[in-house]
Structure 1
Amino acid sequence: MPFQRRFLPPIPVLMAFEAAARLQSFTAAAAELCITQGAVSRQIRLLEEQLGAPVFVRERQTVRLTKTGASYAREIGDALRRISNATLNFRANPDGGTLNLAILPTFGTRWLAPRLPDFVAAHPGITINLTTRLAPFDFNMDTVDAAIHHGVEAWSGAELDFLMHETVVPACSREFLAANAIARPADLLRVLLLHLATRPEEWRRWFEHHGLRPGDVPGMFMDQFAVAAQAAISGLGVALLPRFLIEGELERGDLVLACDAPMESKESYWLAWPSTRADYPPLQAFRAWLKAQAKD
């Protein structure tokens, strides 16, 4: 629905408020905006008159946000960043469009990035900006148009396209395998296991998939696949990794299978986007291309 102009303060007022709120100082805000301290103070008072309540508490030579002022400042800051990003994206590509995409770090670097030249060649007018994310977030509070999601088919306020399933395998270095004589899943219960912090139950599910009931599965936790894979290559322990993300290491012999015991993950890969962006042409083009790549 269209916004109501009577609730929209002038941009200079909002810029003065955002700077003063972020810097907690009218003087510092004035210096940043290249105006006088008195001008900042007047802009803040105009805002408070429109809101009908104070946003700052004035104490001698200092100011601090009220509780409601702090909440308002977060939303105004997000709104101004959205306007700034939209302008930057338009200037960067006025004849095409820009897609701001959140990606999972290892999926992005190992699977998506090598394929992106194909998309760019097919859609030269579209610019893709990438940012890494490890967990779902609120599309209403962020500036991305879409995100690569690993999990189940659930994301509040978002639509999803299925991309692919994933098979995980226990992998380690040749030296580690030779030193520990692993031959079957039960043998892994006596070696150091490398866990992913984003998938704390994956090893337990893997053992149960292969007929074992280990209870708690101790080991070392790491926050990203790349770190876990490198630790396994270095001989630290055994990591449970998506096979399609470590094909290169397996082909080179940097990693080997600790035992031939794969498991299809409970979660899958999805492309997620807010419903409000469904008709955005760059997203539509990327969706069609990405689903074709995942199918291949």
Structure 2
Amino acid sequence: MPYHLPPLSTLRPFEAAGRHLSFKQAAEELNLTPSAVSHALQTLEDWLGTPLFTRGHRSLALTPAGAAYLPEVRGMLERLAVATSALPGRAPSGRLAVSVAPTFGLRWLVPRLPRFRDQHPDITLTLDTSQRPADLPRDGVDVAIRMRQDDWRPDEGADLYAACLVREALIPVCAPTLAARVTAPADLNSVPLLHVDSVTEEWAAWAVPTGMDISALTGGARFDTVHMALEAAASGLGVAMGRLPLVDTDLATGRLVAVLGPPRPIRTGYWLITSRAGRNRPEVAAFRAWIKAELAASPTV
């Protein structure tokens, strides 16, 4: 018996538009024009014989029919993606999409990607820097790298595999021109300190084991990202809290100097996330093995 199916090319635009409630955002996600998304949805609605969206001047909302249809279409697309990833004997695609937390991507991953390319010239890498939760495999991402605290496991029943790649460790860092002024914890009272407001473990987490007065470490310039604080430190603005492995490259090149060691491990770490069905794809397996080897070879202070 033949399947009575709507035009399959209209289902991904419908799912994306229903999720974003925006033709423009759906078009950007699917690399289409908004008019192409609108046309696909009109085709689907004509085939179904019922409207799926209520279109306002600057708004888009699902009709009751659209709200009922959306989770069914989403589930179907997810099952198809999972089945495709898990297909036995599937030939390597030669493509790998990685979504990575911006600071980890910029400061650690990107400087090492030439080595991945040299080892796997047959794999074309697409890199996306994002803080949003990765919705594998629906969003087209093969591997996500995200920062988490403590141990983390996917929700029961989720088709996800997660493994901790590395835990961060804290150590103060500064430009070489400032390093001679910081040879003991008390020296921090006489040099500018740099702070990151967006992290939960920083100067206080480092200072507690030393018995230092934490209140003495609260003054100084503040930044909204780790990357900005480390760039300011490299420019000689002050002493920042370095986070291994994010400062590995800077320390290796001498752009930043570690002071007041040794590093102090903290709860924050970086996790590699894939779909369970897709984690053994040749490209994913190659990337997993490569990044683990790179991290294992990272220098310690």
Task: Name the CA shift for 1:116/1:31 in 2 (closer, same or farther; >3 Å).
Answer: closer
Q: C-alpha distance in 2, partners of 1:42/1:276?
A: 33
Q: Which amino acid aligns with 2:35?
A: E
**Residue of structure 1 equivalent to 2:194:** 194
Q: CA deviation at 1:130?
A: 1.1
Q: Which digits, 9 at most, give the CA deviation of each residue in 1:270-296, with x for residues without a partner? A: 322122322322112222232223223
Q: For structure 1, list consecutive stretches of 5 or more residues without a partner in the other structure.
A: 84-93
Contact 1:170 1:257 in 2 (8 A): yes
Residue 154 (str. 1) matches residue 176 (str. 2): no
1:97 alignment partner in structure 2? 94
Aligned to 2:212: 212
Instruction: Tell me which residue corresponds to 1:264.
Output: 265
Q: Which whole-Å CA distance do the structure 2 matches of 1:46 and 1:282 have between them? A: 39
More displaced stretch, 213-222 vs 125-134? 213-222
Aligned to 1:292: 293
Measured after TM superposition, the shift of residue 241 of structure 1 is 1.1
Say whether 1:166 aligns with 2:168.
yes
Counterpart position of 1:55: 52
In structure 1, distance between residues paired with 2:13 and 2:273: 35
CA contact (8 A) 1:153 1:160 kept: no
Deviations 1:182-231 (A, max 9, x none): 44335436754333344233221111122235269455443433311111
Distance 1:258 1:45 in 2: 67
Contact kept in structure 2, 1:145 and 1:274, CA below 8 Å: yes
2:100 alignment partner AA: I
Distance 2:131 2:146 in 1: 9
The aligned residue for residue 45 of structure 2 is 44
What are the superposed Cα offsets for residues 210-257 of structure 1, whole Å, 9 maximum, x if unpaired? 223526945544343331111112333321112444355446654334
User: 1:62-101 counterparts in 2 under 5 A?
Assistant: 64-66=60-62, 69=66, 96-101=93-98
Q: TM-score when scaled to structure 1?
A: 0.67
Moved more, 244-253 or 203-212: 244-253
Change (3 A) 1:79 1:230: farther
Quote how far apart the aligned CAs of 1:101 are.
0.9
Return the letter of the residue paired with 1:282.
E
Choose 256-265 or 69-78, whichever is displaced more. 69-78
Q: What secondary structure, in the 3-state scheme, does the structure 2 residue paired with 1:130 have? A: strand
The amino acid of 1:98's aligned partner reads R
Using the alignment, how far apart are the partners of 1:15 and 1:165 within structure 2?
37
Which amino acid in the other structure matches residue 208 of structure 1?
V
Query: Match of 2:85?
Result: none
Matched letter for residue 195 of structure 1:
H
Q: Which residue of 2 aligns with 1:91?
A: none
1:101 touches 1:144 (CA, 8 Å); kept in 2? yes
Gaps of 5+ in 2: 25-31, 81-90
Aligned length: 270
C-alpha contact 1:101 1:129 (8 A) present in aligned 2: yes
RMSD (CA atoms): 4.6
1:278 pairs with 2:279: yes
Matched to 1:172, the amino acid is C
Asked if 1:32 is matched to 2:35, the reply is yes
- Report the secondary structure of 1:153's partner residue: coil
Q: Is the 8 A contact 1:48 1:55 kept in 2?
A: no
What percent of counterpart residues are identical?
33
Question: Scaled by the length of structure 2, what TM-score is found?
Answer: 0.66
SS in 2 for 1:139: coil
* AA in 2 matched with 1:146: V
Q: Secondary structure at the match of 2:267?
A: coil
Q: Distance in 2 between matches of 1:160 and 1:43?
A: 37
- Partner Cα separation in structure 1 for residue 191 and residue 285 of structure 2: 47
State the structure with more CA Rg. 1
